[in-house]
C-alpha cells in the first residue's frame, strides 16, 4: 500500500471513528443491541463470533455458568460483564489451567482483577496517560506496541475507544505512554487470563479499525492454545452463576500422595516385625546388615578400574563451552542472529545520536534528565521553528510526528542500560520503522549531514 493510499484509508477511518465516538462508548449505551453476539450493528459482536469461527473456534453464547460442570479445557470469554465473577470458582478454574479472556472497561470485573493483583482505573475524559490520539480526540488513543508476544503477532497499530487503565507490577502487553496498560497477559497457577481494558475493542466497528481485529484474533488463538477443537463460552453483560468448581485432585506423585503411601509402607513394616518371632527377625536383620556392608565396601574400594570414555565422548566434552559470564549471556541474547535478534542496542545508539542533535538544535544540550522538557513541549517548540509556512493541517501532522517519535525514544533504554533492561525487545521491523521516522525528522531540520558524520564516527 502506497503512503498516499494509506493516508487516505486512515482519513476515512478517522472520520468514521470521530463520527461514531459517542455511539460506541460502552458505558453510555446501556440498552439496545450493544454487545449483542447476533447483531450486525456497529456495537454488535457478530464479527467477533465470525472471527472466532474463521479460526476454527466454536463459540457458545451463554448467560449462565455452572461451575460444577465447567472444564478448564473450555475457555471463557467475558465482554463487559455487569455481574461480578464468583472469585473462588473463577480463580480455581484458572489455577487448574483454564483460559479466560476478559474485555471490560466499566463493568463488574474489578473484584476478579484484584485476585490477579490488577487494579482498574477509570480516568476522567481527556486524562488518559497517553500522548497520541486520533485527530487529537483524547477518547481515541492510538497505540504502536513493540516487543515480542503471541498477542502482538502482525499488530502494528491499535486504536481504543474510551478505555480504562489497568495497573500491575508486571509489564503490560500494550502500554500507555505514561504508565499503565491497555492489554495484559496474566498467569494464575496453570492458567492464563487475557485482559483488555476496553470492551469496545471487540465490537464490529472497532474490529475494522487499525490492527484491532488481528489483536483480537491473536487473543482468541491464545486462549485456545494446545486444543485441536476449541469450544469457548461467550458471556456478555449480565449472567447467572451456580454450582461450585471442584479443583482437580492432586497427581499420584504429589507430596501429599507420596506421604500417604510412605505411611502405609511404615505401618505394614511395623506389623510384619511385630508378627515375626525374635529369632527369625535377628537372622534376617543380620543378612540385611551383611549385604549393606558389602555394598558400602564396593562403593568405597573399586574392585576394578572403570572403563575410559570413548573418544567421541572425550571430544564432545572438550567442545562444550564453559559457563557464560553475565556479559557473555547478554551479548549472545542481543546478537544471536535470525528472527530472535534483539535490535535494542542499535536503537539505543540511534536514540543517543538523534536526541543529542535534536536537543542541541533547540538549545537544550547538554541537559540533565530531571531538567529535560516534556515530549509535548519539545514537539511544540519543533513546530514553532520548522512548520512555519505550511498549511495548518500539515503543520499539525509534522508536529505530531515529532512528538510521537520522541515518545517512542523515551521508551527505549539508553545505551548503558540496554543489558540491564532485560525486557527491552525490538525487532528488525521496529528498527526500520523508527529509523525511517528519524530520518524524516532530521531531513526537515536539515541535520542529515551532521547525523551521517556522527554515526560514521561511532563505527
- Assign 3-state DSSP to the chain and report helix, strand, coil percentages, each to 5: 45, 15, 40
Whole-angstrom Cα distance, residue 241 to residue 323? 54
Q: Which value, to the nearest 10 degrees, does the dihedral of the CA atoms of residues 426, 427, 431, 437 take?
A: -90
Question: What are the cell numbers at 240?
Answer: 447467572
Give me the count of residues in the chain. 459
DSSP E strand boundaries for 189-230:
191-196
Adjacent-strand bridge partners of 231:
58
Q: b/e string for 226-248 if b means 16 or more Cβ within 10 A? A: eeeebebbbbbbebebeeebeee
**pLDDT tens by residue, the chain, 459 residues:** 444 444 444 544 554 554 444 444 444 444 446 899 999 999 999 999 999 999 999 999 999 999 999 999 999 999 999 999 999 999 999 999 999 999 999 999 999 999 999 999 998 888 999 999 998 899 999 999 988 899 999 999 999 999 999 999 888 999 999 999 999 999 988 899 999 999 999 999 999 999 999 999 999 999 998 888 899 999 999 999 999 998 876 554 455 555 566 666 666 666 666 665 666 666 666 777 777 777 766 665 554 444 444 444 445 444 444 444 444 444 454 444 444 577 788 888 888 889 889 999 998 888 776 678 888 999 999 999 998 888 888 888 899 999 999 988 888 887 766 666 556 677 888 888 898 889 999 999 998 888 888 776 654
Domains, the chain, with CATH or none: 3-242 (3.40.50.880), 251-320 (no CATH), 329-458 (no CATH)
Name the pTM for this structure: 0.53
Which pLDDT score is estimated for 329?
A: 45
Rg of the Cα atoms in the chain: 31
Q: How far apart are CA 314 and CA 44, in angstroms?
A: 67
pLDDT, one tens digit per residue, over 53-100 is 999 999 999 999 999 999 999 999 999 999 999 999 999 999 999 999
Cis peptide before 366 (omega within 30 of 0): yes
Amino acid at each position: 500500500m502506497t503512503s498516499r493510499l494509506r493516508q487516505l484509508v486512515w482519513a476515512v477511518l478517522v472520520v468514521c471513528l470521530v463520527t461514531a465516538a459517542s455511539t460506541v462508548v460502552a458505558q453510555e449505551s446501556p440498552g439496545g443491541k450493544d454487545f449483542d453476539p447476533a447483531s450486525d450493528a456497529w456495537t454488535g459482536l457478530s464479527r467477533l463470533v465470525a472471527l472466532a469461527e474463521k479460526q476454527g473456534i466454536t463459540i457458545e453464547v451463554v448467560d449462565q455458568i455452572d461451575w460444577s460442570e465447567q472444564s478448564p479445557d473450555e475457555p471463557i470469554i467475558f465482554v463487559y460483564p455487569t455481574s461480578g465473577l464468583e472469585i473462588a470458582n473463577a480463580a480455581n478454574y484458572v489455577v487448574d489451567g483454564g483460559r479466560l479472556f476478559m474485555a471490560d472497561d466499566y463493568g463488574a470485573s474489578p473484584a476478579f482483577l484484584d485476585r490477579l493483583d490488577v487494579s482498574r482505573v477509570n480516568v476522567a475524559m481527556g486524562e488518559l496517560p497517553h500522548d497520541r490520539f486520533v485527530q487529537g480526540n483524547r477518547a481515541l488513543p492510538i497505540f504502536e506496541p513493540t516487543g515480542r508476544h503471541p498477542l502482538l503477532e502482525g499488530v502494528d497499530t491499535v486504536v481504543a475507544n474510551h478505555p480504562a487503565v489497568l495497573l500491575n507490577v508486571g509489564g503490560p502487553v500494550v502500554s500507555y505512554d505514561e504508565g499503565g496498560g491497555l492489554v495484559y497477559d496474566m498467569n494464575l497457577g496453570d492458567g492464563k487470563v487475557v485482559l483488555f481494558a476496553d470492551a469496545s475493542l471487540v465490537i464490529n466497528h472497532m474490529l475494522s479499525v487499525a490492527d484491532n481485529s488481528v489483536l483480537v484474533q491473536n487473543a482468541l488463538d491464545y486462549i485456545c492454545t494446545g486444543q485441536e477443537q476449541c469450544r469457548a463460552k461467550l458471556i456478555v453483560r449480565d449472567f447467572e452463576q451456580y454450582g461450585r468448581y471442584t479443583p482437580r485432585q492432586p497427581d499420584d506423585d504429589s507430596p501429599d500422595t507420596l506421604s500417604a503411601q510412605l505411611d502405609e509402607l511404615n505401618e505394614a513394616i511395623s506389623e510384619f516385625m511385630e508378627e515375626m518371632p525374635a529369632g527369625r527377625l535377628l537372622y534376617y536383620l543380620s543378612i540385611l546388615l551383611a549385604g549393606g556392608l558389602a555394598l558400602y565396601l564396593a562403593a568405597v574400594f573399586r574392585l576394578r578400574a572403570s572403563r575410559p570414555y570413548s573418544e567421541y565422548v572425550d571430544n564432545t566434552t572438550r567442545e562444550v563451552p564453559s559457563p557464560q559470564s553475565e556479559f557473555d549471556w547478554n551479548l549472545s541474547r542481543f546478537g544471536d542472529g535470525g528472527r530472535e535478534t534483539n535490535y535494542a542496542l542499535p536503537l539505543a545508539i540511534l536514540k543517543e545520536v538523534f536526541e543529542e542533535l535534536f536537543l542541541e538544535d533547540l538549545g537544550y544540550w547538554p541537559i540533565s534528565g530531571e531538567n529535560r522538557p516534556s515530549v509535548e513541549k519539545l514537539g511544540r517548540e519543533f513546530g514553532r521553528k520548522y512548520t512555519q509556512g505550511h498549511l495548518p493541517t500539515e503543520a499539525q501532522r509534522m508536529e505530531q510526528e515529532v512528538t510521537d517519535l520522541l515518545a517512542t525514544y523515551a521508551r527505549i533504554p539508553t545505551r548503558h542500560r540496554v543489558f540491564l533492561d532485560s525486557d527491552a525487545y525490538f525487532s528488525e521491523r521496529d528498527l526500520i520503522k523508527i529509523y525511517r521516522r528519524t530520518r524524516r525528522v532530521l531531513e526537515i531540520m536539515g541535520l542529515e549531514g551532521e547525523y551521517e558524520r556522527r554515526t560514521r564516527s561511532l563505527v
